[in-house]
Amino acid sequence: MDSLISILAWVFVIFVLVMSVYFSTKMVEKNKSRAFELYMEHNFPDLPAGIDTFPAKQKSKTVKLDIALIINKPKKEIVILLDKGRKGLKHEIYSFVDLLSAHSSDQVVSRGTITKQYSYERTIELIFKDGSSYHFIADYPSNKKGDDEGGDAVRDFYAPWEKKLKKILK
């Protein structure tokens, strides 16, 4: 009986730790999105109010949101916001005509060794005439196939951005 209670206690401790990491990750993402918004307000006061921002990650299997995409239709510009860590936020601005391609790809990634967790991950890679390329990666917990609500959430989030980018490339 004591061993059962001991096992249940360990399971509870592990559960609490996993949930703590999950919720702290979500708080970091929310704060980074706000940092991008503040940077935009300060450096791009002429952007239309309420313009859509696409915050994402540049590397797979990471937590930190470190890149954001803004499409400034009135000026026909693509703005890339980059988090350079201790150097702070920076930006690059490209004309619509400088965009060479926008490729999408997806995969299901697994994390953990004892208890596997799966995420559906989607990437848009933008390539510009100057040779620069940027990856915009978002993921959401999903099943092994990525065909559940988690995968749908990511696909639904990406769909309007992929449509906007295709329009720019025409």
Range of the domain at 9: 2-169
pLDDT at 114: 82
Q: How many other C-beta atoms can be found within 10 angstroms of the C-beta atom of residue 76?
A: 12
Structure tokens given for 34: 């706000």
Residue (of 8, 21, 26, 33) closest to 111 by Cα position: 21
- Residue 94, pLDDT > 90, answer yes
Q: What is the CA radius of gyration of the chain?
A: 19
Taking CA atoms, 149 is separated from 61, 112, 120, 153, in Å, by 20, 21, 10, 6
pLDDT at 99: 98
Domain count, the chain: 1
SS3 for 132? coil
pLDDT digits over 95-119, tens only?
A: 999 999 999 999 999 888 888 889 9
- Residue 64, pLDDT > 90, answer no
DSSP 31: H
Specify the amino acid at residue 29. E
Report which of residues 20 and 165 the model is more confident about: 165
Average pLDDT over residues 63-71: 91
